[in-house]
Amino acid sequence: AGRPDTPLEILQIEDNRTNREVVEKILGKHGHHVVSTANGKEALALIESGGQTFDLVISDRHMPEMDGIEATRRIRKMAEPWGSIPILGITASVIQYETEQCLDAGMNRVLGKPVDEDELLSVIAELIAARDSNSGPPGLDVVPVLSEVSGLRVMVVDDDRTNLEVARLQLEKLGVPADLFEHSPTALEAAKNGGYSAILLDNQMPEIDGLEFARRFRKWENGQDPAAAQRTPIIAVSGSATREDRQRYEEAGMDDCLEKPVLLVQLEKALARLIRIGSEGHAMPPAQRAETNSDAGPEQALIDTALLAEIVGSVDPNVHREILLMFVEYFPTALESIGAAMAERNASKLSEASHAAKSAASSAAATALREGLQNLETRSSDANWAELQEQVEAIAATFEMTENFIRRMD
C-alpha cells in the first residue's frame, strides 16, 4: 500500500474519544501530526482562528452539534486553501446512500469503521498526490461527463434573472442544453409537453411556487401511460434546505434539494445521479442536511470571488462581471419590493421580498448582502418596524458599497 512521502498536518473531526485515539496512534507512528476536535463546530472555530494550517481533514459523519456533512459544506465554501483541502470521511455505515451524502457534501473519499491502517495510509497518499497535481479549487475543472449522454435537456424555472443566468452558465459548463423559464405556469405546460431530462425548480415563485409546481407535474405525470412515461427528476433549488424543508420537497414529489448558492460540482453530481436513476423509473431519497446556522462575521467580503468561481465553474473575470452586472441591474427592484412591504407594514410580504433578494445575492456570491437579507427575513415576523427599518437601511448601504465594488472591477 502507498504511504505519504512527507509528514502531514492533519485535522481530525471525531466525537468519539476511542476513535480519535486510534487515528492519532496510526498516523503518529508514521510521523504525521494530528490535531483532534470533537465536532464540526469546534473544527470550524479552530480553522477560523487562523492559527494553524493543515494538509488534510479527516471527519466523522455523525456527530452532535455539527456533523461531518455540514462541516464539510462550510469548509468547501471557505477561501483557499480550505476550499480545496482534501477531506476524508469516516463512517460506521458505508452504504451507498451514506457514501453519496458524504461525497455530495464535498468529501473526497469515504472509509468505514473500524479504520484499517493500510487502507487509511493508502487513501491519504492518494488524496495528497491528487491535491499536489491539481492547483485549482474543487468545482472549477468539472469533467462534463453529462455532455457525453445524448439527448439531455434541463428545464430551469426561477423568477429571478440572475439565478437563471447563473444556472445557464453552469449547465453550459457541463455541456447540457437548458431551457430557462421565469414564468412558472408557462414552465409547467412546457414540462408536460416536454421530454426534459431533469427540472431545476426554485421554491419561492409567484403564481405557482415550487411545491405546487411539483405536485401538479407529478399528478399529470402519474396519469400518463406507465409503459411510455418515465419519472422526470425534479431538483429543488432553495435558500433553505433543513430536514423539515427536505421532507416537504420530498412529499411534493421532488427528488433532491440544492441550497443556494449552488456550486457547480454539487449541480453536476446531483444531475448525474438523478438523471441516471430517473431513467430507471425511480429516484433516490433526498440527502438529509443538518440545519444551517451562519457564524459568519461582519467583516466578510462584499463579493466572494472564490465562491463565485465555484458557483459558475469559471475563473474568467469576464464571466464574473457579466453575472455581477446583471445582479446590479436587478437588485434595485428587489429593494423596491422590500420598501413596499415596509410601507404596508406587511410582515408576510417582507419575508417573501427578503427571501427573493437573498436568493439573488446568493447566486452572485454577494455574501455581506446575503447575510443581511437572511437576518431581515428571519426577523420580519417580529414586526418591530423601527428595528426592521434600520436593517433595511443597512442593507441598502451594503448594496451601494457592493455596486461600487462591482463597477470598479476590471
Q: Is 285 a member of any domain?
A: no
Could you tell me if 166 and 58 lie in one domain?
Answer: no
Q: What is the pLDDT of residue 242?
A: 74
Q: Is 364 a member of any domain?
A: yes
Q: What is the pLDDT of residue 143?
A: 42
Q: What is the pLDDT of residue 292?
A: 32
Angle of helix 385-408 relative to helix 317-344, nearest 10 degrees, comes to: 160
Could you tell me if 219 and 242 lie in one domain?
Answer: yes
Residue 10 pLDDT greater than 60, yes or no: yes
Closest CA to 250 of 271, 263, 235: 235
Could you tell me if 187 and 68 lie in one domain?
Answer: no
Residue 122 belongs to domain with CATH number:
3.40.50.2300
Q: Per mean pLDDT, which of 26-40, 73-87, 211-225, 272-286 is the most reliable?
A: 26-40
User: Does an H or E element contain 366, and which?
Assistant: none
Residue 280 pLDDT greater than 70, yes or no: no
Q: What is the pLDDT of residue 144?
A: 44
Number of domains in the chain: 3
Q: What is the pLDDT of residue 356?
A: 87
Could you tell me if 257 and 150 lie in one domain?
Answer: yes
- The span from the CA of 196 to the CA of 271, in Å, is 12
Q: What is the pLDDT of residue 281?
A: 34
Cis omega (within 30 of 0) for bond into 138: no
pLDDT digits (tens, 9 = 90+) for 174-233: 888 899 999 999 999 989 887 788 999 998 888 899 999 999 999 888 877 655 456 889
Q: Is 3 a member of any domain?
A: no
Q: What is the pLDDT of residue 288?
A: 31
- The span from the CA of 124 to the CA of 161, in Å, is 43
List of residues 6+ apart from 272 with CB closer than 8 A? 145, 146
Residue 89 pLDDT greater than 80, yes or no: yes
Residue where a domain stops, chosen among 133, 154, 169: 133
Could you tell me if 154 and 129 lie in one domain?
Answer: no
Residue 336 belongs to domain with CATH number:
1.20.120
Arithmetic mean of pLDDT, 139-147:
49
Q: Is 295 a member of any domain?
A: no
Please give, one letter per residue, the 3-state secondary structure of 59-113. Answer: EECCCCCCCHHHHHHHHHCCCCCHHHCCEEEEECCCCHHHHHHHHHHCCCEEEEC
Contact 56, 127 (CB under 8 A): yes
pLDDT digits (tens, 9 = 90+) for 397-406: 889 888 888 8
- The span from the CA of 154 to the CA of 156, in Å, is 6
* pLDDT-wise least confident of 38-52, 87-101, 120-134, 168-182: 87-101
pLDDT digits (tens, 9 = 90+) for 152-169: 889 999 998 889 999 998
Contact 331, 342 (CB under 8 A): no
Could you tell me if 266 and 177 lie in one domain?
Answer: yes
Q: Is 189 a member of any domain?
A: yes
Starting at the edge strand found earlier in the chain, the sheet holding 198-202 runs: 178-181, 154-157, 198-202, 234-238, 256-259
Residue 94 pLDDT greater than 70, yes or no: no
Question: The domain containing residue 182 runs over which residues?
Answer: 145-278
Query: What does pLDDT average to over the chain?
Result: 82
- pLDDT class for 64, splitting at 50, 70, 90? confident
Arithmetic mean of pLDDT, 114-120:
85
DSSP letter assigned to residue 159: S
Could you tell me if 401 and 359 lie in one domain?
Answer: yes
* pLDDT-wise least confident of 38-42, 259-263, 298-302, 353-357: 298-302
What's the start-to-end Cα distance of the chain, in Å?
Answer: 49
DSSP code per residue over 377-398: HHHGGG--HHHHHHHHHHHHHH
Q: Which residue has the higher pLDDT, 322 or 87?
A: 87
pTM for this entry? 0.50
Residue 300 pLDDT greater than 70, yes or no: no
Could you tell me if 123 and 66 lie in one domain?
Answer: yes
| Cα 155 versus chain centre, distance | 19
Contact 198, 274 (CB under 8 A): yes
Residue 1 pLDDT greater than 70, yes or no: no
Q: What is the pLDDT of residue 151?
A: 73
The Cα-based distances of 407 to 161, 292, 313, 372, 393 in angstroms read 19, 32, 22, 21, 21
Q: What is the pLDDT of residue 299?
A: 31
Could you tell me if 220 and 123 lie in one domain?
Answer: no
Q: What is the pLDDT of residue 65?
A: 85
List of residues 6+ apart from 380 with CB closer than 8 A? 347, 350, 351, 354, 388
Residue 160 corresponds to which cell in the numbers above? 429571478
List of residues 6+ apart from 237 with CB closer than 8 A? 158, 163, 167, 200, 201, 202, 203, 257, 258, 260, 262
Could you tell me if 170 and 231 lie in one domain?
Answer: yes
Residue 102 pLDDT greater than 70, yes or no: yes
Q: What is the pLDDT of residue 225?
A: 60
DSSP letter assigned to residue 141: T
Percentage of the chain lying above the pLDDT 70 cut? 85
